Amino acid sequence: MSDVFPPKVLANILSRLPVTSLLRFRSVSKPWGALIDSPHFIKLHLSHSKESNNSTTIILRDSYLYSVQFDSLDNATELSHPLKSTQVGTEVLGSCNGLLCLFNTRNTNILWSPSTRKYQKLPATRIVGMGICQYVVYGFGFDCASDDYKVVRMVQFYGADDDSFGSEVKVYSLNSNSWQRIQDFPYYLRYKLCHGVLASRALHWVVSRKPESDAENLIAAFDLGSEEYRLVPQPEYCDNGFHMNVGVLGGCICVICNYCLRNADIWVMTEYGVRKSWVKLISVAQPRDIRSLEYVRPITYSKSGERVLLEQDHGRLLWYDLRKKIVNNVELRGVSDFLEANVCLGSLVQLNDSGEIEGKKKRANKEKKKKKTNKRRKCQNEREERLLKSAPGKAGCVCLLDAHHS
């Protein structure tokens, strides 16, 4: 094929294949391996994956992590990942371009690619802010301006009174493999278990201006490029008696209005930052054929764009038909209930493998020790030669003794 097709045509053909095939094809030849590992090809393949939804999986979390193919949504398989443990749970902090940001209760953060099995361990960073820690939330995304993946950690502290609070915000950069503290978050986080929602190159949280005196729910955004905060305009609600959260659907920020045990509305901002672009895409009432509708969250569109996959009550998946306005259950095998679902693209985005890094360090240390040992032996041999030259009589005795024993 390399002889028949020009390089650009070959790259265009290969970029439409699933990751599993491409990882095998790297061994076909050195030119193929160099092509598939090149940054340009990785971005081209990622672009096709986003357009076609090929190699897309849904990551489910309970005590462990499970993967189910988006094409079938039938059989969930348990994932073996670097933080897997029978003693502590693993949390998914975010998903972006085929990478998962994982966290466990031993305060270990990693970026992991389920496709390539590579991972990058984040350096530990202390909480240095003053006060008693109340919330710690994270966010994960990609800054296309700097071509960098970033993890945001927001720490919220109790204030001196019920209406005050403090914060500490740090940003991890994959390019520099380091954390940096930035300006404090000026808003109060409403939910302690909700991590940042990635949409339009920004992370989003539901906030208020103050803990007690301000009950208004606002949407705060953190721009991954400028690393600045802003508020996002909301839809014109007819009824404000709902539990509000934010999500993402098709790359667009959305607002989820859960009217407990009654119905749920999902608004989508089709043009980011423009208030008039909000559209009520879904309004699903309490159905008779499924259990209580206390919570619903959009996951992704179907490949045809005619249905939306929903997560219901932290434990079940539903298909919502946008044209017929009806819901259908998704029957999963391999996992009974789960806490959350995340979309993960199949991608070749590269990460350092910690095992390889440790191996390089060990080899480097071994080489250093070997050099030191050789240097010590050389110095010892030189000293012995000098002693032999300065005491010829003793040297002769040694030779006689050696000759006698031989």
Chain-centre distance of CA 381, in angstroms?
Answer: 56
Residue 359 has a pLDDT of 40
Long-range contacts of 243-247 (CB under 8 A, 24+ apart): 243/295, 244/206, 244/217, 245/191, 245/194, 245/206, 245/297, 246/197, 246/204, 246/205, 246/206, 246/219, 247/197, 247/297, 247/298
pLDDT in tens, 331-358: 888 887 788 999 999 999 998 654 443 4
Interior/surface letters 248-267, b for 16+ CB within 10 angstroms, e for the rest: bbeebbbbbbbbeeebbbbb
What is the average per-residue pLDDT within 70-75? Answer: 89
- Supply 16's token pair: 């439409």
Contact predicate 297/290, CB 8 Å: no
Q: Is the pLDDT of residue 222 over 90?
A: yes
> In this prediction, what percent of the chain has a pLDDT beyond 90?
57
Average pLDDT, the chain: 85
74: helix, strand or coil:
coil
Of 187, 207, 203, 184, which Cα lies nearest the Cα of 195?
A: 203
Domain ranges of the chain: 7-47, 236-331
In 3D space, the residue among 183, 279, 275 whose CA is nearest the CA of residue 228 turns out to be 183
pLDDT band of residue 265 (cuts 50, 70, 90) is very high
Q: Quick one: pLDDT at residue 1?
A: 53
More confident residue, 239 or 45: 45
Name the residue with higher pLDDT: 213 or 193: 193
**Model's pTM, two decimal places?**
0.83
Provide the pLDDT for residue 225: 96
- Partner residues linked to 274 by β-bridges: none
Please tell me the distance from the alpha carbon of residue 5 to that of residue 145, in angstroms, as a whole number. 33
The confidence band for 401, taking pLDDT boundaries of 50, 70 and 90, is very low
Residues 6 or more apart whose Cβ sits within 8 Å of residue 262: 285, 286, 293
Angstrom distance (rounded) from CA 206 to CA 220: 6
Pairing of strands 307-312, 316-321: antiparallel
Do the bridges between strand 165-173 and strand 178-182 make them parallel or antiparallel, or are there none, so unpaired? antiparallel
The answer on pLDDT for 404 being more than 50 is no
Q: How many CB atoms lie within 10 A of CB 314?
A: 15
Q: Say which range, 212-221, 256-265, 298-307, 394-403, has the weakest mean pLDDT.
A: 394-403
